[in-house]
Amino acid sequence: MKKISLIITLFVIYGFSHKYYVSTSLYDFKEDSGSLQITIRVFQDDFTEIIKNIYQIDISMDNDLNSNEIKSKISDYLLSNLSIYLDNNKYDLFYLGSELKNEMIIAYLELEDIPAFKSIELKNTILFDLFEKQQNIIHLKKGVNKRSFILRKDVPNVSFEF
Amino acid sequence: MKIKDISLIAISMMISFFAFSQENSSETKQKGHLNINKFRQMNQEFSSPNMFRTAAGAPGPAYYQQQADYKMDIELDDRNKRIYGSETITYTNNSPDNLEYLWVQLDQNVRKKDSPSLERDGSGVRPFYRPSGFTNEFLTDPFDGGFNVEYVKDEDGKALPYFINQTMMRVDLPKVLKSGEKFSFSMKWWYNIQDHVNQDGRSGYETFESDGNRSYIIAQFFPRMAVYNETEGWQNYQFWGDGEFALPFGNYEVKITVPADHILDATGELQNRKDVFSKEMLKRYNKAKKSYEKPVMIVTQSEAEEAEKSFSNNKKTWHFKAQNVRDFAFATSRKFIWDMMAVKIGNRDVMAVSLYPKEGNPLWEDYSTIVVAETLKTYSDYTFDYPYHKAISVHAKQIGMEYPMICFNFGRPNIDGSYSDDVKFGMIGVIIHEVGHNFFPMIVNNDERQWAWMDEGIDTFVQYLTEQKLGKDYPEIIYPNENFPSDRGPAKLITDYMSVDQNFLAPIMSNPENVYSLGPNAYGKPATALNILRETIMGKELFDHAFKTYSKRWMFKHPTPEDFFRTMEDASAVDLDWFWRGWFYTTDYVDIGIKEVKQFYVSPGPGKELKKIMEERGIPMNRLRPMIYFEDFENDTENLKEGNPLENSKLLNNYLNENYSEDEISNLKVPKYFYEVVFDKPGGLVMPIIVEYEYEDGTKEKIKYPVQVWRKNDNEVSKLIKSNKKIINITLDPDLETADIDTSNNSWPKKQEDSDFDKFKKRIKG
Of the three residues B404, B432, B450, the one that is the final residue of a domain is B450
Q: What is the percent of chain B with per-residue pLDDT over 90, rounded to a whole number?
A: 80
pLDDT of A77 over the 60 cut: yes
- Out of B450, B477, B492, pick the residue that ends a domain: B450
For residue B213, tell me if it sits in a domain.
yes
pLDDT of residue A132 exceeding 70, the answer is: yes
Q: Which residue of A has its CA nearest to B756?
A: A39
Instruction: State pTM to two decimals.
Output: 0.88
Is the predicted pLDDT of residue B245 greater than 90, yes or no? yes
Contact at CB, B126 and A131, closer than 8 angstroms: yes
Whether the predicted pLDDT of B9 surpasses 50: no
Q: Considering only CB atoms, which residues of chain A are within 8 Å of chain B?
A: 1-20, 22, 24, 28, 37, 39, 53, 63, 66, 96-97, 99, 101-102, 104, 106, 108, 110, 129-133, 137
pLDDT at residue number B647: 87
Q: Are the Cβ atoms of A14 and B122 closer than 8 angstroms?
A: no
Q: From CA B643, how far away is CA B603, in angstroms rounded?
A: 9
What is the chain A residue with the closest CA to B522?
Answer: A16
A20 pLDDT tier (thresholds 50, 70, 90): low
Residue B579 maps to a domain: no
The pLDDT tens digits of the residues spanning B24-45 come to 555 688 999 999 999 999 999 9
pLDDT of residue A12: 34
Q: Chain B closest CA to A64's CA: distance in Å?
A: 12
Residues in chain A: 162
Q: Is A19 in Cβ contact with B143 (below 8 Å)?
A: no
Least CB-CB distance to A13: which of B110, B124, B400? B400
CB contact under 8 A, A6 and B137: yes
Which carries the bigger pLDDT value, residue B176 or residue B495?
Answer: B176
- pLDDT category at A15 given cuts 50, 70, 90 is very low
Q: Give the pLDDT of residue B160.
A: 98
Q: Which residues are bridge partners to B344 per DSSP?
A: B349
What pLDDT is stored for residue B126 in this prediction?
A: 61
Residues of chain A contacting residue B123, judged by C-beta atoms under 8 Å apart: 4, 6, 132
B199/A7 Cβ within 8 A:
yes
The Cα B101–Cα B223 span in angstroms is: 15
pLDDT of residue B736: 97
With a cut of 60, say whether residue A59 has pLDDT above it.
yes
pLDDT band, residue B125 (cuts 50/70/90): low
Q: What is the pLDDT averaged over residues A10-26?
A: 57
pLDDT for residue A62: 59
Helix axes B540-553, B561-570, angle to 10 degrees: 130
How far apart are alpha carbons B766 and B760 in whole angstroms? 10
Q: Looking at the predicted structure, is the pLDDT value of residue B705 above 80?
A: yes
Nearest to B259 by CA among B97, B399, B396, B77: B77
Task: Judge whether residue B8 has pLDDT over 60.
Answer: no
Q: Residue B166 is part of a domain; what is its CATH number?
A: 2.60.40.1730
Kindly indicate the confidence band of residue A61, based on its pLDDT and cuts at 50, 70 and 90: low
> pLDDT, tens digit, for every residue of B206-233?
999 999 999 999 999 999 999 999 999 9
Q: Minimal CA–CA distance to B117: which of A11, A45, A18, A46? A: A11
pLDDT at A158: 87
B253-262: pLDDT as tens digits: 999 999 999 9
Comparing CA positions, the residue from B509, B629, B592 lying closest to residue B11 is: B629
| Chain A positions in Cβ-Cβ contact with residue B117 (cut-off 8 Å) | 8, 10
B383 found inside a domain = yes
Which chain B positions have a beta carbon within 8 Å of A66's beta carbon?
Answer: 764
CA distance B106 to B220: 8
By three-state DSSP, how is residue B20 classified?
Answer: helix
Give a yes or no: residue B2 inside a domain. no
CB-CB under 8 Å, B493 with A102: yes
Task: Tell me which residue in A2, A5, A11 faces B241 most closely, judged by beta carbons.
Answer: A11
The stretch B581-588 carries a mean pLDDT of: 98
Average pLDDT over residues B144-173: 97
CB A37 within 8 A of CB B172: no
- Binned at pLDDT 50, 70 and 90, residue A17 comes out as very low
Beta bridge partners of B192: B82
pLDDT band at B411 (very low <50, low <70, confident <90, very high): very high
Record: contact B137-A10, CB cut-off 8 A: no
CB contact under 8 A, B518 and A97: no
Question: Does the distance separating the beta carbons of B124 and A24 come in below 8 Å?
Answer: no
Confidence of residue B149 (pLDDT cuts 50, 70, 90): very high
From residue A103, alpha-carbon distances to A17, A31, B497 in Å are 9, 32, 11
Indicate yes or no: CB of A17 within 8 angstroms of CB of B517.
yes
Contact yes or no for B764 and A129 at CB 8 A: no
Pick B636 or B53 by higher pLDDT.
Answer: B53
Percent of chain A topping pLDDT 70: 86
B764 contact residues in A (CB cutoff 8 A): 66, 96-97
Q: State chain B's mean pLDDT as an integer.
A: 93
Q: Closest Cα of chain B to A97: distance in Å?
A: 8
| Chain-chain contact of B516 with A110 (C-beta, under 8 angstroms) | no
The pLDDT of residue B26 is 56
Buried b (16+ CB within 10 A) or exposed e, B464-494: bbbbbbbbeebeebbeeeeebebbbbbbbbb
In the predicted model, what is the mean pLDDT of residues B130-144?
80
Maximum average pLDDT range among A100-109, B137-146, B588-597: B588-597
Whole-Å CA distances, A10 to B110, B132, B197, B238, B566: 8, 19, 13, 13, 34
Q: Which of A19, A35, A53, A38 is nearest to A123 (CA)?
A: A38
- pLDDT for the residue B766: 66
User: Over 70: is that where the pLDDT of B556 sits?
Assistant: yes
pLDDT for position B595: 96
Which residues constitute the domain of residue B201? 67-117+133-450
Q: Do A8 and B401 touch (CB under 8 A)?
A: no
Closest-CA residue in chain B for A27?
A: B757
Tell me what pLDDT residue B195 has.
Answer: 94
Question: What does the alpha-carbon distance between residue B511 and residue B309 come to, in Å, rounded to a whole number?
Answer: 47
CB-based contact B252:B72 (threshold 8 Å): yes
Taking only the tens place, the pLDDT of each residue in B750-759 is: 887 788 898 9
pLDDT tens sequence across B731-741:
999 999 999 99
CB < 8 Å to B127, chain A: 129
User: How far is residue B727's CA from residue A149's CA, in Å, rounded to a whole number?
Assistant: 42
Confidence of residue A137 (pLDDT cuts 50, 70, 90): confident
**Arithmetic mean of pLDDT, B375-380:** 98
- In angstroms, the CA A47 to CA A100 distance is 11
- Tens digit of pLDDT for each residue in B290-309? 999 999 999 999 999 999 99
Q: How far, in Å, are A14, B126, B655 from residue B236 at the CA level?
A: 25, 36, 76
Closest residue of chain A to B142, computed from CA coordinates: A7
Domain presence at residue B43? no
Residue B82 has pLDDT above 50, yes or no: yes
Q: Is B13 a residue whose pLDDT tops 70?
A: no
More confident call, B443 vs B615:
B443
Q: Which residues of A fall within a CB distance of 8 Å from B242?
A: 10-12
Which ipTM did the prediction report?
A: 0.83
Contact B501 A137 (CB under 8 A): yes
pLDDT at B721 over 90: yes
Q: Which of B120, B130, B144, B760 to mutate to test the interface with A (most CBs of A within 10 A)?
A: B760
**Residue range B602-636, pLDDT digits in tens:** 988 888 889 898 899 888 888 888 889 999 988 88
Give the Å distances, CA to CA, from B369 to B293, B330, B341, B467.
10, 17, 7, 15
Contacts of B678 (CB under 8 A, 6+ apart): B594, B595, B596, B597, B598, B716, B717, B718
Count of the separate structural domains present in chain B: 2
Contact A6 B755 (CB under 8 A): no
Chain B CB contacts of A81 below 8 Å = none
Q: Is the pLDDT confidence value at A7 over 60? A: no
- From chain B, the residues in CB contact with A132 under 8 A are 123-126
Q: Which residue among B124, B201, B519 places its CB closest to the CB of A11?
A: B201
Whether B690 maps to a domain, the answer reads yes
In one letter, which amino acid is B424? K
Q: Which residue has the higher pLDDT, B511 or A68?
A: B511
Predicted local confidence at residue B128, as pLDDT: 63
End residue of a domain, out of B401, B418, B450: B450
Cα–Cα distance for residue pair B45/A108, rounded to 1 Å? 44
